């Protein structure tokens, strides 16, 4: 005889396994700041690449200005300006990453808690 209550609980778990397991797995494996830290490291690299690409675009557009900087021996000024821009860009980018992934972690933990509730119920049912 099929236990309908058990099927309902197992259904919720199966839906989680099918759709959300991959998405919320890190929230189960990491503490909040480890998870956010991992994402910050990833963002450091992607942000740096994005910055280089954007600077590359600017350099292509304003090649004469870049050449003028180099010719006038203002290379140091250019480098300092780039570093300041890079730090400011990364600060905004990393701050956004921290906020977004903190929210994701909190939401993910809520989903996990619901999943564990179903898991507990199913376990109880099998024990009786």
Partner 1 sequence: MTGLLELKDRFIRFYSKYETWLFPVIKFFVALTLFAMINAHIGFMEAVSSWPAAFVFALVCAVLPVNAMIWLAAAVVLADMYALSLEVAVTTLVLFAALFFLYFRFAPENGIMAVLTPVTFGLRIPYIMPVAGGLLRGISSVFAVVCGTVVYYYLDGIHQNAGTLTSVDTADADQPSRFDISIGQLLGNKEMYLVIAIFVVTAVVVWIVRRMEVDYAWTLAIISGMIIEIAGLFIGYLVLGINGKTVVMLVGSIGSMLIAFILQFLFMNLDYARTERVQFEDDDYYYYVKAVPKKMVAVRDVQVKHFGNTGSMGKRIEHTRHVPNAEEEEHSHRVLAKEFDIDEDLLK
Q: Which stretch binds partner 1 (CB under 8 A): 29-37, 39-47, 69-77, 113-121?
A: 39-47
**Residues binding partner 1: what is the number (CB under 8 A)?**
30
Name the minimum Å distance from CB 11 to partner 1. 5
Q: How far apart are CA 74 and CA 78, in angstroms?
A: 6
Decide: is 95 part of the binding site for partner 1 (CB under 8 A). no
Closest CA to 32 of 108, 87, 83, 122: 108
Q: Is residue 97 within the footprint of partner 1 (CB under 8 A)?
A: yes
Instruction: Report the phi/psi class of residue 30: left, alpha or beta, with left for phi > 0 and alpha for psi in -120 to 50.
Output: beta
- Taking each helix axis from N to C end, the angle separating 75-127 and 21-29, rounded to the nearest 10 degrees, works out to 100
Count of helix runs (H) and strand runs (E) in the chain = 5, 0
CB of 83 to partner 1, least distance (A): 19
Residue 73 in the binding site for partner 1 (CB under 8 A)? no
Q: What is the smallest separation between the CB atom of 53 and partner 1, expressed in angstroms? A: 4
Q: Contact at 8 Å (CB) between 108 and 27?
A: yes
Q: Considering the complex, what minimum distance in angstroms separates the CB of residue 94 from partner 1?
A: 11
CB nearer to partner 1: pick between 1 and 76? 1
């Amino acid at each position: 005889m099929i236990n309908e209550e058990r099927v309902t609980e197992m259904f919720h778990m199966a839906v989680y396994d099918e759709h959300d397991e991959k998405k919320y797995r890190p929230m189960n494996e990491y503490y909040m700041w480890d998870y956010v830290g991992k994402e910050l490291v990833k963002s450091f690299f992607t942000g740096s690449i994005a910055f280089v690409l954007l600077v590359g675009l600017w350099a292509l557009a304003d090649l004469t200005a870049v050449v003028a900087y180099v010719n006038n021996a203002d290379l140091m000024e250019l480098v300092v300006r780039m570093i300041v821009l890079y730090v400011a860009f990364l600060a905004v980018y990393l701050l956004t990453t921290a906020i977004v992934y903190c929210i994701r972690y909190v939401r993910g933990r809520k989903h996990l808690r619901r999943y564990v509730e179903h898991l507990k119920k199913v376990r109880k049912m099998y024990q009786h």
